[in-house]
């Protein structure tokens, strides 16, 4: 039997119109209605609206959680299940839900509050660097205060985060093929969002985590775990910690995974995995049409 991992993308993968094709499916309709009660706004209305509104953290994160969990549940209804799960930043919440660590509405309540706190965490910036000198980057970051490696995505792509001055200083000193400032409200996955992270920790502590039914690879600690307390502690560190996606990619074959299914809009994660490891079968389930019959 082929060992399969399910992976879930995070903020930045959102696309106008995502999830709208799921409205014809009764179980999806129920989830969208429940989400509207919890959020106070309609995910499908936001997904149909202009991309600027959808791309605001406040709306992006809950919308991705709802759409990705619906797609994953529809896959499970069709008899499919993963042997391992992982998610990129926000995507870790969908992975934990699929692993049975918390129930669906508890996860959405967490994501709603996370989105609110991150949306209000202004100041600083993030930037993506492509095809860069790794040694030079590590050296410059070590010598520059107030900037960190926020996302280690693949050997050819990283994201840095910190004060505007510090991020711009690194961008100007490190040779790269491309350096692109990201459209985000704050310096996520850095110590600059520590105040929001502390407030969110109190909320996380109040939620009971169950043992995972499949192992989870966490962003801040890319080793498989089913331990509920360990998974919670990793999630607590996630808002200020680095997303170690390159290491998660390397862990897939190390854990016997042969096939990876990315569930959610876009194909960001399968693209990153392809650049990091070879010989894995990579698939995407972005829409209802891509669900196996």
80 is catalytic: no
120 is catalytic: no
The answer to whether the beta carbons of residues 222 and 253 sit under 8 Å apart is: no
Catalytic residue among 13, 63, 89, 190: 89
Pick the closest to residue 107 from 97, 117, 119 (CA basis). Answer: 97
Pick the closest to residue 8 from 217, 155, 190, 187 (CA basis). Answer: 217
CA dihedral 130, 133, 137, 140 (to 10 degrees): -130
Report the chain's C-alpha Rg in angstroms: 18
Catalytic residue among 189, 190, 225, 249: 189
The answer to whether the beta carbons of residues 193 and 239 sit under 8 Å apart is: yes
Name the helix (H) or strand (E) containing 241.
Answer: none
Name the helix (H) or strand (E) containing 27.
Answer: helix 26-39
The answer to whether the beta carbons of residues 142 and 186 sit under 8 Å apart is: no
Q: Which residues are within 8 A (CB) of 112 and not within 5 positions of it... i.e. 6 or more apart?
A: 38, 39, 62
Quote the distance between the C-alpha of residue 12 and its chain's center: 9
Q: Which residues are catalytic?
A: 89, 189
């Amino acid at each position: 039997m082929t060992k399969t991992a399910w992976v879930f993308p995070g903020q930045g993968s959102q696309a106008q119109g995502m999830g709208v094709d799921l409205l014809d499916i009764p179980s999806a309709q129920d989830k969208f209605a429940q989400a509207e009660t919890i959020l106070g706004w309609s995910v499908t209305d936001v997904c149909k609206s202009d991309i600027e509104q959808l791309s605001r953290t406040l709306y992006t994160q809950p919308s991705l959680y709802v759409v990705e969990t619906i797609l994953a549940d529809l896959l499970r209804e069709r008899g499919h299940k993963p042997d391992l799960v992982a998610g990129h930043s926000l995507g870790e919440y969908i992975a934990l839900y699929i692993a049975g660590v918390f129930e669906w509405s508890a996860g959405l309540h967490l994501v709603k509050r996370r989105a609110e706190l991150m949306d209000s965490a202004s100041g600083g910036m993030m930037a993506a660097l492509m095809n860069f000198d790794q040694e030079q980057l590590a050296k410059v970051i070590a010598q520059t205060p107030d900037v960190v490696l926020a996302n280690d995505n693949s050997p050819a792509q990283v994201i840095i985060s910190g004060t505007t001055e510090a991020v711009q200083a690194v961008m100007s000193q490190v040779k790269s093929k491309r350096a692109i400032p990201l459209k985000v409200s704050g310096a996520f996955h850095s110590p600059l969002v520590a105040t929001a992270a502390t407030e969110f920790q109190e909320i996380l502590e109040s939620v009971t985590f169950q043992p995972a039914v499949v192992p989870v690879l966490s962003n801040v600690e890319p080793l498989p775990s089913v331990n509920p307390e360990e998974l919670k502690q990793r999630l607590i560190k996630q808002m200020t910690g680095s997303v170690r996606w390159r290491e998660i990619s390397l862990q897939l074959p190390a854990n016997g995974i042969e096939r990876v299914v990315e569930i959610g809009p876009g194909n960001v994660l399968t693209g990153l995995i392809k650049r990091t490891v070879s010989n894995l079968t990579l698939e995407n389930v972005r829409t209802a049409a891509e669900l196996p019959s």
